[in-house]
Structure formats: structure tokens, C-alpha cells
Structure 1
Amino acid sequence: MNPAVPAQYTLTYNVTDSAANVAAPVNRTVTVQDTQGPTLVLNGPATAGLECGTPFNDPGATANDLCEGDLSGAVVRTGTLNQGAVGNYTLTYNVADQGGHTAAPVSRTVAVSDTLAPVVTINGPASLAVECGDNGFQDPGAMAEDACAGTLPATPSTEVDPAVPGVVAITYSATDPSGNTGVGNTGRTVTVEDTLPPTLALLGPANQPLECGTPYNDPGATADDQCAGDLTGSIQRTGSINNKQLGAQMVSYTVQDPGGRTAGPVSRTVTVDDSLAPAIAVNGPLDQVFECGSTYVDPGATANDLCATI
């Protein structure tokens, strides 16, 4: 008989006396039965914490049966656990022996929490230079990775105005759905620099004729700077035009931006010519009546020239 194996066993008793007389055998039936279920005990605590996004190493449960011994390998776990989502999860353990007797189920609650901030990493170099006025500048930004929420957008601490020279320090941060905020260990420095001089262009021709004695109306010049914008009002003119002086005369234009970069000079040559004849005007009437034999007094005439004094 094996008391560890449920079955019905027959025990037979025999006896023979000294005269070799044999007694009739007597039988006993012994039934080994399994009526008790296994015992089931959790390994580790009934409540466990788990950081979101990290693996869960289940300590499992231990099962033992009086008849069959260790049944830990037969323990069945039910319930799901998503280590990538915050929440409370229940895992239940069951076991049954070969006789179909079950142990009272035991459960473990796993609380998945998110306590870690996202990790923020900048895209591209930590230092950038951009020419002032370059409206095509795009901040490369940063990326954020969270163990629980995955990829998250990173927010810059400030924006770069490419129209304003200076140094801009940017930090990047990201907040996960649990409210944990991560700030990048490395920020970005953007230097908006003004290295380009203004552009300066004449309005009108570079060579201009002027009739002697007529007013000179300077068409001027126009100036523009990529950083400072329209600088036409800051143009400085040197030289002057004497409209009574025949020959070539020059006026020059220069301009300077707020950073001290200069454009020019650009020049215009004005050539004063005298192409108009003087104008004559008689004094008195054009038709006169004069008495014969008397003395004639000529009232004369006057002459005027735009260029010369007559």
C-alpha cells in the first residue's frame, strides 16, 4: 500500500501453526483517498508597487498538497498587467490537484505608478548663430521620452526673434500625463548677429544733366538693412550743386546701420550745361513815332541770361 497514492488496496492476512495447519486468509480493504485541497500561499507581498514602463517580475505563489506534494509548478495566474499604463491591477493565483480539489485563490494587487519625469534631449547643436533678419530660422527644438507615455512634445522656454540682435538662452521641458515635468540638462544658445551692412542704391540716374541757373532737385537714394529695415531716413549726403557753375559736380551718399556697419558711398555726377541763349527785352514801345529833325533818345533794351550776368 502507498499512502501517497490514492487507490483501493487489499491487505491479506495468513497464518500457519506448528503442525502446518493453514488458517483461512482474511482480507482487509484499505482505501487511500484524497479529500483535501492544496494549500496556496503568495510569494512576496499581497500589494506591490511598480514604476510605469519597467518590467514586472512576478514572485508568484507556492502550492503544496498533502497527497501530491509541491504543486507550485501547476499554479495558474489569471488577470492582466499593463506596466505601461498607470493603474491598479489584480493578479489571481489558482491551483488544483489531480483529484480536482482546488485551493482557495490568492490575489496580488500591483499598483503601477508614474513618478519619473520625461528625459528631454535637444535636437541639433547646443549653440547656433543666425543672421539678423533671417526670417527662415527654425528652432530645431528638442525631443522628450517618457518611460510611461513614450514620446512627448518638448516646449521651449522662449522664442527667438531673428529681427533682434542678441543672445537668447533656451531651455526645453516636457510634462507627462501624470504631471511629472522634465527639463533638459542641456539647453540651446542662439546668437542673433548682425554682420551684414545695409544696401544703398541711387534713385534716378548716376549721371544727371542740369541746365545752368535752374533749381537742382536731388532724387536722393534709398537704403535698406536686413536687420534694421528701411534706413532711407538715415542717409547722409555730402557735396552740393552750384547751378551757376558750369561743369561736372558730384554728390555722394552713405548710410550706417545701428551696429555701425556702413554702406557706400554711392555718387551721382551732375553736369551743369548752358544751352539757352540770353533773352532780350526792349525798353519802351516796339513802335515809336519820331518828329523829323528832332533829337532821338533811344530807350535801349535789357538782356537776361539764366546762367551769366549781363
Structure 2
Amino acid sequence: MELQFSRHRRLRSSANMRALVRENHLRAEDFIYPLFIIEGENVRKEVSSMPGVFQVSMDHLQAEMEDIVAHGIKSVLLFGIPATKDECGGQAYHDHGIVQVATRFIKEKFPDIIIVADTCLCEYTSHGHCGVVEGEKILNDPSLELLVKTAVSQAKAGADIIAPSNMMDGFVTAIRAGLDEAGFTEVPVMSYAVKYASAFYGPFREAAEGAPQFGDRKTYQMDPANRMEAFREAESDVAEGADFLIVKPGMPYLDIVRDVKNNFNLPVVVYNVSGEYAMIKAAAQNGWIDEKKTVLEMLIGMKRAGADLIITYHAKDAISWLKEDE
């Protein structure tokens, strides 16, 4: 009996054949590396829940940036940890706030690095929420005013991209108008357009020292059960002038990444968040998985889902592994 079937294995017959027909690729240019800059001196403190990730003070930033450049990373995402916090997060928009100081330093010493400034208030407020608080309610419109001030101060310091992560309604249109009015018409907005109220953020809150002091963020971040809501959020941000669309987290939301990619013509960014990083690190340290293979498989899965760029704490290791395989 003659069997009729397709021989798909023909295109898997050797490493070179597999490389020839590979549909998605990882490159150093695909990665944005998060940095936690803390006020103080002689601080290089490893985040206990994120092995290999550090809070660094300004006197360690030169060495950190040299290491970043040596790995081939082209873009960094800056988070600031101030020495003092207040109800309105004043250090977020101070001209000498920690992110502004770090931005000026990096642009002077490493001018080719793309600086993405996280534009939020949670690391700077005494209550840990991303906006102005009245009682236990997070006020939307008064928060926009402070977020605009923060974005403009970051652009003045030299940030190449403003990345608002606060999830207040209207944050893109407010920040776009504020940047334009201040003369920063060429500075793009990388919107955290689709940001879920996720359990995967836990380690980040240790790293950024920005956990909410009461309640949670479910009134302004999205319900993990919802898919159509992502379309509404992304569509609003596109209309309001966003230049990039972020989906956050990554691994549990790859269906949303594909939805956003299929429906909008802006670059799509996925945030491979702290909890995803921590799980892989813990499993690898226990010998349960092969860290290199697992990380690269996860990251290529994000590209396959539609991500153009990936914000990831794995960037240094991933680039080193990719070079090994060249």
C-alpha cells in the first residue's frame, strides 16, 4: 500500500536547514533592559527575589553602564528609588530627581544608549499608588497633571522615550500634549497600553520599593480575565498619540500580544516581568530546568506572538547566549 503524507521533517534535517527556514529571531536590538537607580552612595544591592538584578546608586552607574554596553544592549528602562517620598510623589518630577540625574549622566557618558523613562508615581509616593489619593480613592484627573510634569522633566533631562505606566484614563493624550507644549514634539510615547493587575509583579515591588500601602491597583489596572478590554485600551492610546504599545505581563498574556499585533500598526512591546524572571531563576538554581534553553524559548515565543521589542531582565544573559550560538 502506498501511503500519501507530507514530509515536514525535510525542513528540519540539520541545524543549517532549520536556521534557513526559521521564522523568528532574537537580536540584541530587540531587548530593553530595566535599571533600578537608587539614591545614596556605594549601593549595589541584589534584589533577593530577582537574582542577578541590582539596585545601584549613581557612583556605581558608570560600571553598570559599561557592562550593559559590553553586552550589546542598546536600550535601558529607568526606574528611580528616591531617598524621600511624599503624598504627591514630588521626586518623580523634580529636576534633580534620581531618574533625571541618572538620565543626564547616561546621555553624557553613553550618548548612543536609548533611555526609556518609566513615567509613574508609585515609587515616589508615600502610599505607593500611581496617582493622587483622596482617602482610599485614586483620583484620575489630578494624577494626570503630575504625570505630565514627570514626563516633561524626564524629557528635559534627555530621555529618548517616555513610557507612562500608571494606567490613568487619558494619560497618553495628557502627556503628549504636555510634551508638545514644552517643545518635545520629537519624543515618542511608549504607552503601557495593556497593563493587567497581575500577581506576577511581586518581585518588582521589592526592587522598586513601590508596593501600595493600602488596597490594590485593580481600579486602574486591567482584570486578567478580560480580553476585549485590551482592544479598548490600546485603541484609545493609539487615538491619543501613542508611538509604541506595551502589553504587560508577557508569558500569561501572549494571546493579547497577538491580538494587539494583529489589530494595530504600532510597534508592540512585551514586558517580561519580574515574576516571570524570578520563577525561571528559581527553577534553574534548583536544577529543575536548563536556564539558557528555557529563557531563549520563552523570549522567542514572545517574538512569535507578535512582540517587536521585549523588556526583560534576562537581556544580558540572552545576548551572551545568542553570541555563543552564532
TM normalised by structure 1 equals: 0.14
Structure (1 or 2) with the greater helix fraction = 2
Greater relative contact order: 1 or 2 (C-alpha under 8 angstroms, separation 6 or more)? 2
